[in-house]
């Protein structure tokens, strides 16, 4: 039998990191729909993130994106976070939004552009020093659109060179986490297209380089839980970027498209010790809220991760292992499905009450009146959004 009090303890100590860009305006290549009350700067994004943490109790970390969240004084931003019970999480670098990067950033054929990109990554480590952030999160839009456009192996060389310069700059308690993505914006080759490429670079760099699994960055039908299990076994799972997709990299709310997949992933995390603090797996959201209200959407996402986590923790591992050892195919599958089919909402309500929280985070947020407050007071200025 599963130890229910251990499950509750694990749920209470879970930390989910929310993305600063999830509070700003976002959209598709067709249209960005603005919403009233959206933050104008990173300080206001943190104010919104604090509402998510207040309602859920498990979202104390916020990922920043540079330069979208660039400020003059990062220590001041970190202090602003601390006053609200938050910490600054991963620093996400951006080497994809400038004209210079048309043909790539760290893999660009021109050494001057590569220098500029690497200098930006080094600047991000300076920012980590000021914010106390542990992780430099790297996702490169680098790749090519046409066969013959550039040399695939030369681009790998350039990538390795850039990564090793940045890795050497990291402090002892800092990490580099390298994200992969199958395609987009490049359509022919992508320079870090899959977990194997990321893993191979991380292995060469050293123990503080780890892989980021963004759930939206795979070919349809990819078995993501296998990747998670493999990386955990190798000690190279650095972080998740959780989101949902139906077709491409949709960045919808985590758990909305395929809650069973999220459960299967988190089952591998639970079974392989990935929820233990010393494993240092970061559980981040990387999603955009194009048509739904942003703060409630982040709260909903946090709840979806909690529900999948609770189900994963409820798997009776003794019974599962006994069935597996006995070759009991149906029995083993039934153990897993019993946990998945458990309605964990009453358990999570109980957990929240024991933490002194409202059992219903969305109702709790609605009752604060924060939404009316930000709509009324955030007037003028420029709303945060893509490219801002
Ligand atoms: Mn991502």
Answer whether 0.85 is exceeded by the pTM. yes
Q: CA-CA-CA-CA torsion for 136, 142, 143, 144, nearest 10 degrees?
A: 180
- Helices 195-205 and 224-233: crossing angle in degrees, nearest 10, is 10
Ion ligand 1 — residues with CB < 5 Å = 214, 241, 286
Tell me how far the alpha carbon of residue 238 lies from the centroid of ligand 1, in angstroms. Answer: 13
* Per-residue pLDDT, 2: 83
pLDDT tens, 281-298? Answer: 999 999 999 999 999 999
Mean per-residue pLDDT, 84-113: 98
* Per-residue pLDDT, 386: 75
pLDDT tens, 309-325? Answer: 999 999 999 999 999 99
Tell me how far the alpha carbon of residue 18 lies from the centroid of ligand 1, in angstroms. Answer: 12
Tokens 């709840």, located at residue: 303
* Per-residue pLDDT, 160: 98
Mean model confidence pLDDT for the chain: 97
The pLDDT confidence band at residue 239, using thresholds 50, 70 and 90, is very high
The pLDDT confidence band at residue 387, using thresholds 50, 70 and 90, is low
Tell me how far the alpha carbon of residue 32 lies from the centroid of ligand 1, in angstroms. Answer: 19
Tell me how far the alpha carbon of residue 318 lies from the centroid of ligand 1, in angstroms. Answer: 35
- 61 backbone dihedrals φ, ψ, rounded to 5°: -110, 145
Domains of the chain with bracketed CATH: 4-377 (3.20.20.150)
Q: Is the pLDDT of residue 388 over 70?
A: no
Tell me how far the alpha carbon of residue 379 lies from the centroid of ligand 1, in angstroms. Answer: 30
Tell me how far the alpha carbon of residue 376 lies from the centroid of ligand 1, in angstroms. Answer: 32
Q: Is the pLDDT of residue 124 over 70?
A: yes
* Per-residue pLDDT, 105: 98
pLDDT tens, 311-362? Answer: 999 999 999 999 999 999 999 999 999 999 999 999 999 999 999 999 999 9
Tell me how far the alpha carbon of residue 241 lies from the centroid of ligand 1, in angstroms. Answer: 5
Tell me how far the alpha carbon of residue 334 lies from the centroid of ligand 1, in angstroms. Answer: 33
Tell me how far the alpha carbon of residue 199 lies from the centroid of ligand 1, in angstroms. Answer: 16
């Amino acid at each position: 039998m599963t130890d229910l009090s251990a499950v509750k303890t694990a749920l209470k100590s879970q930390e989910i990191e929310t993305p600063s860009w999830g509070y700003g305006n976002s959209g598709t290549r067709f249209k960005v729909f603005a919403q009233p009350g959206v933050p104008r700067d990173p300080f206001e994004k943190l104010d919104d993130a604090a509402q998510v943490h207040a309602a859920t109790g498990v979202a104390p970390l916020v990922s920043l994106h540079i330069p979208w969240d660039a400020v003059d004084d990062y220590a001041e931003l970190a202090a602003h976070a601390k006053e609200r019970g938050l910490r600054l999480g991963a620093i996400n670098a951006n080497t994809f939004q400038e004209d210079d990067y048309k043909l790539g950033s760290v893999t660009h054929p021109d050494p001057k552009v590569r220098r500029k990109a690497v200098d930006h990554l080094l600047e991000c480590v300076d920012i980590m020093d000021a914010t106390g952030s542990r992780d430099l999160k790297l996702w490169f839009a680098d790749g090519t659109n046409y066969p013959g456009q550039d040399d695939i192996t030369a681009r790998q060389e350039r990538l390795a060179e850039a990564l090793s310069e940045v890795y050497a700059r990291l402090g002892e308690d800092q990490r580099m986490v390298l994200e992969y993505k199958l395609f987009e914006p490049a359509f022919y080759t992508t320079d870090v297209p899959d977990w194997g490429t990321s893993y191979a670079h991380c292995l060469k760099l050293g123990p503080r380089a780890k892989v980021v699994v963004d759930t939206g960055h795979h070919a349809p039908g990819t078995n993501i839980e296998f990747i998670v299990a493999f990386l955990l076994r190798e000690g190279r799972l650095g972080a998740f970027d959780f989101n949902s997709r139906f077709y491409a990299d949709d960045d919808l709310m985590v758990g909305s498209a395929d809650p069973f997949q999220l459960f299967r992933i988190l089952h591998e995390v639970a079974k392989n010790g990935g929820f233990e603090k010393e494993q240092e797996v970061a559980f981040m959201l990387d999603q955009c809220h194009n048509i739904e209200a942003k703060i409630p959407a982040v709260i909903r996402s946090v709840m979806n991760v909690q529900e999948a986590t609770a189900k994963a923790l409820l798997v009776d591992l003794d019974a599962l292992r006994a069935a597996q050892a006995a070759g009991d195919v149906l029995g083993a599958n039934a153990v897993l499905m019993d946990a998945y089919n458990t309605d964990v909402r009453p358990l999570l309500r109980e957990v929240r009450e024991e933490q002194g929280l409202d059992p219903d985070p969305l109702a709790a947020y609605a009752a604060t009146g924060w939404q009316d407050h930000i709509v009324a007071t955030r007037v003028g200025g420029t709303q945060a959004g893509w490219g801002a």
